[in-house]
Structure 1
Amino acid sequence: MTRRQAWPKAVLFDLDDTLWPIAPVILEAEKLLYAWLGQHAPRVAERFTIDSLRQARLELLAARPEFGIDLGALRHAGLVAAFEQVGEDAGKVELAMTEFFAARNAVTPYQDVVPGLERLKKQVLVGSVTNGVADLQTIGLAHHFQASVAARAFGRAKPDPGIFLAGCAALDVAPSDTLYVGDDLLLDVQGAQRAGLRAAWMNRTGKVNDLAGEVSPDVEVSSLDELLDWLETHHLHEHQV
């Protein structure tokens, strides 16, 4: 009979689309930002639409790929360029970004997240590694995490092995003793495995693994409940091994 593995000492999480849906939040944040522009920077709102501002950001990212590690800085730079193009006071961009970030952090965690984190942190160290700009303190989940690493502060983004290793180091655990949980097969699953971690694919929407020949998660789950069930079924705590 195959011996069960020991529980990981730590679990690291991706955030957007793993712990909460992000697309509707971004759409709403962009609408609120655009409404703010209409009131406080009308020349920008007259010249640009939400879509044309987005297209300008994509063009800026193509020209300056270093913005890929900090999408907040990309949005800021895009707004500065738009303000300057129409002669608006670019000093207002900071206020615009404050409005955007407040709305961007108004996320609603999936129902399983808070109870799942409560259960999990009684068993292991819990941290996060993200390419996004979510603020766990503002969102109200920071107390569930012993460490958090963000690409914009670290200077490299997933799937770079370094950011996963930084998450492990922040919790003082070895990669082999760490499980990473994320929704993206390449950035999260393959990235974590190449850094020496185990990886769980959080597939909340029932997507087909169209990279099955290339990426094989250690486990596929649709919720934190399923993740905990898998850990409890297939793993033993160290003192039991």
Structure 2
Amino acid sequence: MSVIKAVLFDLDDTLWPIVPVIRRAENILFEWLRQNVPGVASRISIDGMRARRQALMDTDPVYQIDLRALRHVVLLEAFNEAGEDVRLVEEAMEVFSRARNEVTLFPDVVPALGRMRPKLALASVSNGVADLEAIGIAHLFDASIAAYSFGRAKPDAAIFHAACDALKIRPAEAIYVGDDPLLDVVGAQKAGLRAVWMNRHELGPSRTLPEHVRPDAICGDLIELERWIGH
């Protein structure tokens, strides 16, 4: 078995909980719409925009890769239907993006990454649109690959291989750590990486592993991950 030289991380629900972040960001955006473009806010709700995004994702694979474009097109539709100035859509997107990057890291994240960094190459591979610079942890990673800019999304092997290429390692020399059994665990293993299922207890007891998914390890936090890597 190859020596581990790198650890690649998913972001949402692996390094921070994402549901409260998105809910807060959507509420902040809707309040901004209510104050600045009430014609839009009066015609569509948060749930309505969410349903429209889901419908587009179900019918157009482009929006499964680029979540920012998905949110943008739904806002653009709402502005057009309300007859509002579509130039304000970019401002609305910026309001959402700022709030979306105000995350609360799990308490083990920064200390554990700091301890790993001298010994291992670190990268992030995400289907989301988090900005590690804005969040303040970009300096802890040697590379960051996001589906919306790369053009392929997990579980496509290409996005895992792109991160390995950026770190100048072979897939067999990397571990991928993520919370989604199919996108993260199965996707990484099919790409030739070892995979750790991150099952954070803070996210509740309802998370289960499908019977056919066999991660190389299961960890509840990055401290457990460190122990497993060093065993």
TM range (shorter): over 0.9
Partner residue, 1:230: 228
- Aligned partner (choices 111, 125, 143) of residue 115 of structure 1: 111
The one-letter amino acid paired with 1:102 is R
**After TM superposition, what 4+ stretches of structure 1 lie above 3 angstroms from structure 2?**
206-210
Alignment of 1:133-212 (within 5 A): 133-205=129-201, 206-207=205-206, 209-212=208-211
The one-letter amino acid paired with 1:57 is R
Report the secondary structure of 1:181's partner residue.
strand
Q: 2:34 matched to 1:23?
A: no
Cα separation, 1, equivalents of 2:87 and 2:190 = 43
Alignment of 1:94-109 (within 5 A): 94-109=90-105
The one-letter amino acid paired with 2:198 is M
Contact 1:84–1:90 (CA under 8 A) maintained in structure 2 = yes
TM-score (normalised: structure 1): 0.92
How far is 1:63 from its partner?
A: 2.9
Partner residue, 1:128: 124
Q: Deviations over 1:190-213 (max 9, x none)?
A: 00000000001100035554412x
**Count of aligned pairs between the two proteins:** 228
Contiguous gaps of at least 5 residues in structure 1: 234-241
Cα separation, 2, equivalents of 1:165 and 1:157 = 12
Coordinate RMSD, CA, aligned: 1.2
How far is 1:49 from its partner?
A: 1.0
Q: 2:49 matched to 1:49?
A: no
How far is 1:62 from its partner?
A: 2.4
Partner residue, 1:239: none
Contact 2:181–2:209 (CA under 8 A) maintained in structure 1 = no
Cα separation, 2, equivalents of 1:225 and 1:47 = 47
The one-letter amino acid paired with 2:72 is H
The one-letter amino acid paired with 1:133 is V
Rg larger for: 1
TM-score (normalised: structure 2): 0.96
The one-letter amino acid paired with 2:99 is A
Cα separation, 1, equivalents of 2:68 and 2:136 = 20
How far is 1:110 from its partner?
A: 0.1
Q: 2:29 matched to 1:33?
A: yes
Identity %: 53
Partner residue, 2:64: 68
Contact 1:7–1:231 (CA under 8 A) maintained in structure 2 = no
Q: Deviations over 1:48-75 (max 9, x none)?
A: 1111111111222223221110111100
